[in-house]
Amino acid sequence: MNTIRTGPGVPKSLVKHDLAVSEASEARDSSDEFAAPRLVCRKQRLLSADDAVRLVDGYRDGKTVYELGREFGIHRVTVSAHLKRAGVPMRRLGLDESLRAEITRLRDEGWSYARLGERYNVDPATVRRFHLLPTVTTT
């Protein structure tokens, strides 16, 4: 474990903010020295040319960026970047206005956003935003 010494005149609160040390661990240690939290580093995953082709093919076959991210061990934003570089038009997944009444009814019946997300194959936050936004009207 790394030990950090704040030194005279430098309060631990300044260091704590940057290193995300919990209040409880600070309360247990009243000295000017404390153990720094262990930092987790992720190794960058580079796709081979074959993997990039398989990723594009998977997306064209209907897989989502989330599924492809899990499959290739990369973030969904990285999947989107690969697809954009390959010139693949992105699908706009989301919820159609025609589903608003059904989602409202299911929420009234006690369905969670997580369950609704699974039902409509979208992130639960997408359902929540859709459900809480006012109805879109065209004039």
pLDDT computed for residue 131 by the predictor = 84
pLDDT at residue number 78 = 93
CB atoms within 10 A of CB 95: 18
* pLDDT per 10-residue tile (average), the chain, 139 residues: 55 49 50 60 80 94 90 92 93 77 92 92 86 66
Is residue 56 domain-shared with residue 81, that is, in the same domain? yes
- Answer yes or no: is 18 within a domain: yes
> What letter represents residue 68's amino acid?
L
Q: Tell me, yes or no, whether 42 lies in a domain.
A: no
Instruction: Identify the pLDDT of residue 42.
Output: 64
Does a structural domain hold residue 41? no
With respect to residue 120, please indicate whether it lies within any of the assigned structural domains.
yes
Residue range(s) defining the domain that contains residue 122: 97-132
Report residue 19 as tokens. 């290193």
Query: Is position 44 within any domain?
Result: no
Structure tokens, 64: 């989502």
Same domain for 81 and 104, yes or no, is: no
Provide the 3-class DSSP secondary structure of residue 47.
coil
So what's the pLDDT on residue 11? 56
Number of domain units in the chain: 3
